[in-house]
Structure 1
Amino acid sequence: MEKRLLKGLFLLSFILFFSSCNGLEPGLSVLTGNYNYQVGEFQQATINYVTGLESGRFSEWIYYNMGNVYFSLGEGGAALEVWKNVDSAEDRILRYRLNFNKGVLFYQLGRYDEAYNLFKEALRSDPASIDAKINLELTLGKLAAPAAQNGNSGNTAEKNEAVNPAETQRMLEYIRRKEGQLWFSSEKDKENYQEDW
């Protein structure tokens, strides 16, 4: 009788285990895809992401990851096509990462105006991002270089009409001041904390 009961429980747990595998998707496929991406197995990562998309859940994050695979393979055009599926994302973290990665891609392509605007958008999503601030400054340097070489000729001014160097410098100074206030504030909090003890 006990053997029959144990076999029944085993069979029931076996059936429940395999019928609930869909509950693991897309998480399992995405985790496997992320691992494959980290070790450089890009084709397998893409296959795992496509499998994860079949669940219909978290598709924006999966498309973002797929775009990163294409970007890592040097397929910037394909990455941008896949990232179009994420452009309307409401998740602040995802928007930051998407704009940051697109900014890096455009910077590498020498499309500095677009890179500048994307890094600016990334900073709007995450104002504390040091990496986005650094990339924004590097991009600003690339935009200012032709203007300095041409002596601010009319062509360069027309081309960079969307990017006003004075406003950009003002924005960077504002970010530095805010950053300084954050550091000062955290040091003050630390002192208050030490006084409590």
Structure 2
Amino acid sequence: MEKRILIAAAAAAVVLSACSNPAVYFSVWQGNNAFAGGDYQTANTEYLASMEKDVYTDYLSYNLANVYYALGEGEAASAEWKEAAFTSSRELLYRTMYNRGLFEFESGNYETAFDLFRKALEINPESLDAKINLEYSLRRMNAGANSSEASAAGAQNSGSDEVSDEIMRVLEFIKQKDAGIWTANEEENVVTGGKDW
């Protein structure tokens, strides 16, 4: 009997110490629910209230950035994503780089978007979305370079070829890695017997 009481007391101590400030966690939970429901003003208020407690500020900055982005406040979102990038969590860093890349792409800053998507891929090389957006950024960069070359006929652009070659090497490497993944899946030939109705 005493052993059960001791185990229950130890479990209660662990639970209570983990919730050192349950108001912060409840506020974040309310903010997450408000964000999921599209109530961005409430989510913003809850996240800002949680930031005052100085707990998990990297995650809260990321959440605030997403709220600002949803509200159309791109510059404020970018500033918060930059704050969230000072994290030890690789998953949070990946999401931060990816979201910043989306913002920069939508803003027309294709080179910055390309760099951010490349950083996201360095963190999570399996991300198909980051690979696709990296290629979209490259295409927009090349389209911009082609249109500027056409408008400035005869102008020399010395560093453009070097950057383009480096970018193409990165994309070729990604395609080679993906080719290995896809060919491995294609080698599994499943033979089905009978008629296919």
Contact map agreement 1:113 1:160 (CA 8 A) in 2: no
User: Does residue 54 in structure 1 map to residue 52 in structure 2?
Assistant: yes
Q: Give the Cα–Cα distance (whole angstroms) in 1 for the partners of residues 39 and 80 of structure 2.
A: 19
- Letter paired with 2:33: Y
Bigger shift: residues 166-175 or 33-42? 166-175
Q: Structure 2: where are the runs of 5+ without partners? A: 1-15, 191-197
TM-score normalized with structure 2 length: 0.75
C-alpha deviation, 1:89, in angstroms: 1.8
Q: Which has the higher helix share?
A: 1
Q: Give the Cα–Cα distance (whole angstroms) in 1 for the partners of residues 154 and 57 of structure 2.
A: 43
C-alpha deviation, 1:82, in angstroms: 1.9
- Letter paired with 1:90: S
Matching residue within 34, 37, 46 for 1:36: 34
TM-score normalized with structure 1 length: 0.75
User: Does residue 76 in structure 1 map to residue 68 in structure 2?
Assistant: no
Q: Give the Cα–Cα distance (whole angstroms) in 1 for the partners of residues 80 and 161 of structure 2.
A: 26
Q: Could you tell me which residue of structure 2 aligns to residue 172 of structure 1?
A: 171
Contact map agreement 1:100 1:118 (CA 8 A) in 2: yes
- Deviations along 1:146-171, one digit per CA (max 9) or x if unpaired, are 22234475899759759822221221
Percent same amino acid among aligned pairs? 33
Q: Could you tell me which residue of structure 2 aligns to residue 107 of structure 1?
A: 105
Contact map agreement 1:147 1:157 (CA 8 A) in 2: no
Bigger shift: residues 57-66 or 174-183? 174-183
Q: Could you tell me which residue of structure 2 aligns to residue 194 of structure 1?
A: none
Q: Give the Cα–Cα distance (whole angstroms) in 1 for the partners of residues 35 and 43 of structure 2.
A: 6
- Deviations along 1:134-193, one digit per CA (max 9) or x if unpaired, are 11100101000122234475899759759822221221121122123234456779x9xx
* Secondary structure at the counterpart of residue 164 of structure 1: helix
- Deviations along 1:2-36, one digit per CA (max 9) or x if unpaired, are xxxxxxxxxxxxxxxx9x97543433222221111
- Letter paired with 2:115: N
Q: Structure 1: where are the runs of 5+ without partners? A: 1-17, 192-197
Contact map agreement 2:97 2:117 (CA 8 A) in 1: yes
C-alpha deviation, 1:39, in angstroms: 1.3
Q: Give the Cα–Cα distance (whole angstroms) in 2 for the partners of residues 35 and 105 of structure 1.
A: 23
Q: Give the Cα–Cα distance (whole angstroms) in 1 for the partners of residues 131 and 154 of structure 2.
A: 28
Q: Give the Cα–Cα distance (whole angstroms) in 2 for the partners of residues 109 and 55 of structure 1.
A: 33
Q: Could you tell me which residue of structure 2 aligns to residue 118 of structure 1?
A: 116
Sort the Cα spacing of 1:155 and 1:77 in 2 relative to 1 into closer, same or farther, 3 A: farther
Q: Give the Cα–Cα distance (whole angstroms) in 1 for the partners of residues 22 and 155 of structure 2.
A: 54
Q: Could you tell me which residue of structure 1 aligns to residue 6 of structure 2?
A: none
Q: Give the Cα–Cα distance (whole angstroms) in 2 for the partners of residues 131 and 122 of structure 1.
A: 10
Bigger shift: residues 57-66 or 24-33? 24-33
What is the RMSD of the two structures over their aligned residues, measured on CA atoms?
3.3
Matches within 5 A, 1:84-99: 84-99=82-97
- Letter paired with 2:147: Q
Between the two proteins, the alignment pairs up a number of residues equal to: 175
C-alpha deviation, 1:132, in angstroms: 0.5
Q: Give the Cα–Cα distance (whole angstroms) in 2 for the partners of residues 112 and 159 of structure 1.
A: 19
